Amino acid sequence: MTPRRPALDEGVRPGEIVLEHASRAFSVKADRGRTLKEMLIGRRRAGGPAPVQALRDVSLHIQPGETVGMVGRNGAGKSSTLRVLAGIVPLNSGRVACGGQVVAQLELGAGFGRDFSGRENIFLNGALHGLQKEQIESRLDAIIGFSELGDFIDAPVATYSSGMFLRLGFSIAAHLDADVLLIDEVLAVGDEAFQRRCEARIAEQIAAGATLVLVSHDAALIERTCERLVVLDGGRKVFDGPVDEGMPFYHRLMGTAVTVPSPQ
C-alpha cells in the first residue's frame, strides 16, 4: 500500500486549487474495457462514437477560502472538472493541484456497505478519507447528531430510506475538516429543514476557511453560497468572475441555446 494521503499537492497552499490548461477526453463506447484480443492485435475496434472532449484547455486558479459555483448545460464538463480536482480522474494534458484535505461529495454514500450499520459505515467512510480510528471517534457524536438518524444509526444501512441514506452520507462528509470542499449537486438531500442545515453547515466550513467548489443547477443556491461563478460550455470555460455578473451571462447562454418560437 502506498501511504498516499490526499495531502498537499506540490506548490499549492492548503485550500488552493490550480488547474492549468487542463484537457481530458472520455471514450463513450458502451463497453469501456478493452479485451485481450484487441491488446494482442494491437488495435481497438473501429467505429462507434468518437471520444467526448470533457475538458478543453481549462485554466482555473482558486485562492484558499474562495467560494466558487460552477454551472453549465448537461455535459458541459462540470462533473468531470470536479472528478479531476478530486484526483479521481487524471488529465490527458495540463496540470491539476489541490491543496490540503480534499473532501469530494460526488455521490453521497458511495461505498457504504449495505449490510453494515450506519455507525460502522461512518468508520468505513472516514477511513476512506484517510482518517484514523481516534479521529473518527472524536467526531462520531457530531456526525450522528447531524444526521438525525437516532436509533437507526445501529440498523443496517440496507434498511434506510433513500433520504436517510443521503443524510448519513452528507453528515460524514460534512465533518471531515475539509480544506477544499467539492460538491456535485448533492444538496437536494432530505427535507427542506435538512437542506437548510446542510447549507448552514457548509457556511460554517467556509467560515472556518474552507474553499468551496459547488456544482449545481440551482441558481438561487449558488447565488446564496458563492461569490465567484465559473460557466462551462462544451468543455471550455466561457465565464469566470463575480456571481452577480455571471448569472445574467449564464441565463443568456441557456436562453440562446433554446430557440424560442417568436410570436408573430
Query: Using the rule CB under 8 A, is 23 a contact of other proteins?
Result: no
Query: Using the rule CB under 8 A, is 97 a contact of other proteins?
Result: no
The nearer residue to other proteins, 35 or 138, going by C-beta atoms, is: 35
The answer to whether residues 157 and 169 touch, using CB atoms and an 8 Å cutoff, is: no
Query: Using the rule CB under 8 A, is 75 a contact of other proteins?
Result: no
Segment lying near other proteins (by CB under 8 A), choices 29-37, 42-50, 192-200, 218-226: 29-37
| CB burial string 205-215: b at 16+ within 10 A, e below | bbeeebbbbbb
Taking the complex as a whole, the smallest distance from the CB of residue 146 to other proteins amounts, in Å, to 20
Q: How far apart are CA 221 and CA 34, in angstroms?
A: 41
The nearer residue to other proteins, 97 or 219, going by C-beta atoms, is: 97
Of the residues 10, 30, 37, 262, which one makes contact with other proteins according to CB under 8 A:
37
Of the residues 32, 200, 256, 262, which one makes contact with other proteins according to CB under 8 A:
32
Closest CA to 95 of 219, 12, 167, 36: 12
Closest CA to 157 of 109, 104, 105, 107: 109
Query: Using the rule CB under 8 A, is 158 a contact of other proteins?
Result: no
Taking the complex as a whole, the smallest distance from the CB of residue 175 to other proteins amounts, in Å, to 16
Interior CA angle at 87 toward 85 and 88, to 5°?
115
Taking the complex as a whole, the smallest distance from the CB of residue 215 to other proteins amounts, in Å, to 14
Cross-strand pairs, 69:
214, 229
Q: How far apart are CA 259 and CA 188, in angstroms?
A: 29
Residues found in the chain: 264
Site residues (vs other proteins, CB under 8 A):
1-7, 26, 32-37, 39, 83, 86-90, 102, 104, 106-107, 110-111, 113, 115-116, 123-124, 127-133
